[in-house]
């Protein structure tokens, strides 16, 4: 007697009950799996974009806002700070690397960031074509920026005031593309990079006055004079040792008009805030999986009630009690395994589709590899399915052959 074939025939004989059981199990497993995958990819992206940045110095305000705007470029900056004052950090013996950032304009929604070539070194990225900027108004564009806007070497464009579309267009100053970066799966893919002087000149009133007198666009610029009024948005800092992390942030916050924020601390605080919401949704999804277990139980229970005469005949033809037990357990096992597999597949499909709607390249890499948390989710889902078949299994074991056949 082929128990495997018989189990599969019993499952397919009630397509509606089977479908509902699979749907609930798939839905529950899919939600938890999707949240686990999203959480895993977001954490990877957060860590990937930090790239060893130990401290960010900017204007007074929210430290989390400073980190989000300067490291991840997803928020408005807290303000501007004097460039000359931040240069003092370079001379500190505890500091290994400083990277100034100055921004306030964008191009089709992508931020234009004035910085130094150390920023490229920080993210360890290479050019796919062209060269790094040498003069003002020359830009290197991230891979995503180039693809979305179809930018090529030699193309020119104008920046828009503000960090979103709809601002004033600086049509007196045209940027020229001199380089395109390789895909790095970091925030640098979504940035337009140039030198600090370019950003300063675009926002300098004297430069605008000169432009209005000349009545032509600036293609070449005189060296920019740095004064006490020259501002940047933030300074990224890497320390030589952990001692700097202990001493410098507190010293800057207490003795200067600047603000020093530690990315790792702020991001941990942010993920903890998100964690509560994720745990709540995971709890709801777990309840759905348990409900799917009840659905499997009801399906098997009703199936056994309908098939009592059939099971009695199977016993008469030589099947043992344990073969009937195996038959019922196998049905519960098949339903839970199929629901788990479908849930894992749907979660990955959703992870691939979501970035298309939110226009993000940070997440959504289609991968069928299991993460560690899913290795725990899979046996839990299958165990729930097996527990759901426990009572029907006992019923099958205790079936009374003479009574069942006489009642028929």
- pLDDT 10s digits, 7-61: 788 778 778 878 888 888 888 888 888 888 887 877 777 877 888 899 999 999 9
In a domain, 269, yes or no: no
Segment 80-132, tens digit of pLDDT: 999 999 998 888 999 999 999 999 899 998 999 999 999 998 888 899 999 99
Question: What pLDDT does residue 71 have?
Answer: 93
Name the domain boundary from 219, 236, 261. 261
Widest Cα–Cα separation across the chain? 108
One domain for residues 279 and 257: no
Which two three-digit tokens encode residue 379?
A: 């046996």
Q: How far is it, in rounded angstroms, from Cα 24 to Cα 42?
A: 27
Range(s) of the domain holding residue 245: 55-261
Task: Considering only CA atoms, give the Rg of the chain.
Answer: 31
Question: What pLDDT does residue 404 have?
Answer: 64
One domain for residues 64 and 173: yes
- Residue from 254, 195, 257, 238 nearest 58 by CA: 257
The string of DSSP letters for 264-303 reads HHHHHHHHHHHHHHHHHHHHHHHHHHHHHHHHHHHHHHHH
Model pTM score: 0.73
Which two three-digit tokens encode residue 217?
A: 């666009």
One domain for residues 190 and 245: yes
Question: What pLDDT does residue 1 have?
Answer: 55
Question: What residues contact 390, with CB distance under 8 A and at least 6 apart?
Answer: none
One domain for residues 109 and 172: yes
One domain for residues 292 and 343: yes
Name the domain boundary from 261, 286, 306. 261
One domain for residues 187 and 213: yes
Question: What pLDDT does residue 216 have?
Answer: 42
The dihedral built from the CA positions of residue 326, 328, 329 and 334, taken in this order, carries a sign that is: positive
Question: What pLDDT does residue 363 have?
Answer: 52
Q: How far is it, in rounded angstroms, from Cα 249 to Cα 63?
A: 11
Residue 316 burial (10 A CB sphere; 0-12, 13-18, 19+):
exposed
Give the H/E segment covering residue 393: helix 390-397
One domain for residues 93 and 230: yes
Identify the segments of the chain with pLDDT beneath 70: 1, 165, 205-224, 274-278, 307, 357-368, 401, 404-405, 407-408
Name the domain boundary from 230, 261, 292. 261
In a domain, 266, yes or no: no
Q: How far is it, in rounded angstroms, from Cα 177 to Cα 170?
A: 16
What is the number of helices (H) and of strands (E) in the chain?
15, 12
**Cβ distance 173 to 157 under 8 Å?**
no
3-state helix, strand, coil split of the chain in percent (to 5) is 55, 15, 25
**Cβ distance 3 to 326 under 8 Å?**
yes
- Residue from 175, 142, 148 nearest 160 by CA: 175
């Amino acid at each position: 007697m082929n128990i495997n074939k018989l189990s599969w025939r019993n499952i397919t004989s009630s397509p509606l009950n089977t479908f509902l059981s699979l749907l609930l199990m798939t839905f529950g497993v899919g939600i938890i799996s999707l949240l686990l995958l999203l959480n895993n990819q977001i954490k990877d992206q957060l860590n990937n974009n930090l790239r060893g940045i130990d401290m960010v110095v900017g204007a007074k305000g929210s430290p989390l806002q400073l980190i989000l705007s300067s490291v991840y470029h997803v928020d408005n900056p807290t303000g501007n700070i004097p460039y000359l004052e931040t240069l003092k950090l370079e001379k500190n013996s505890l500091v290994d690397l400083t990277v100034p950032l100055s921004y306030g304009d964008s191009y089709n929604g992508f931020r234009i960031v004035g910085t130094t070539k150390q920023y490229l070194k920080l993210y360890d990225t290479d050019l796919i074509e062209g060269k790094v900027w040498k003069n003002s108004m020359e830009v290197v564009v991230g891979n995503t920026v180039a693809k979305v806007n179809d930018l090529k070497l030699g193309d020119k464009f104008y920046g828009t005031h503000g960090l979103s579309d709809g601002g004033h267009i600086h049509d007196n100053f045209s940027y020229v593309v001199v380089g395109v970066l390789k895909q790095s799966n970091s925030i640098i893919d979504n940035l337009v990079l140039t030198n600090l002087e370019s950003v300063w000149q675009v926002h300098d009133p004297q430069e605008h006055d000169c432009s209005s007198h000349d009545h032509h666009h600036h293609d070449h610029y005189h060296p920019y004079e740095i004064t006490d009024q020259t501002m940047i948005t933030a300074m990224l800092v890497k320390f030589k040792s952990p001692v700097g992390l202990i001493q410098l942030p507190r010293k800057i916050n207490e003795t200067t008009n600047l603000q020093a924020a530690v990315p790792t601390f702020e991001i941990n605080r942010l993920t903890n805030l998100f964690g509560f919401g994720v745990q709540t949704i995971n709890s709801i999804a777990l309840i759905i999986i348990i409900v799917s277990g009840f659905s499997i139980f009801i399906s098997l229970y009703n199936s056994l009630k309908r098939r009592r005469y059939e099971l009695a005949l199977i016993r008469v033809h030589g099947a043992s009690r344990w073969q009937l037990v195996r038959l019922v357990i196998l049905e519960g096992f098949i339903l839970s395994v199929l629901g788990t597999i479908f849930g894992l597949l749907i979660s990955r499909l959703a992870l691939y589709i979501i970035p298309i709607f939110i226009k993000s390249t940070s997440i959504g890499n289609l991968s069928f590899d299991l993460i560690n948390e899913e290795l725990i989710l899979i046996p839990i889902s299958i165990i729930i399915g097996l527990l759901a078949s426990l009572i029907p299994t006992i019923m099958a074991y205790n079936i009374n052959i003479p009574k069942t056949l006489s009642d028929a």
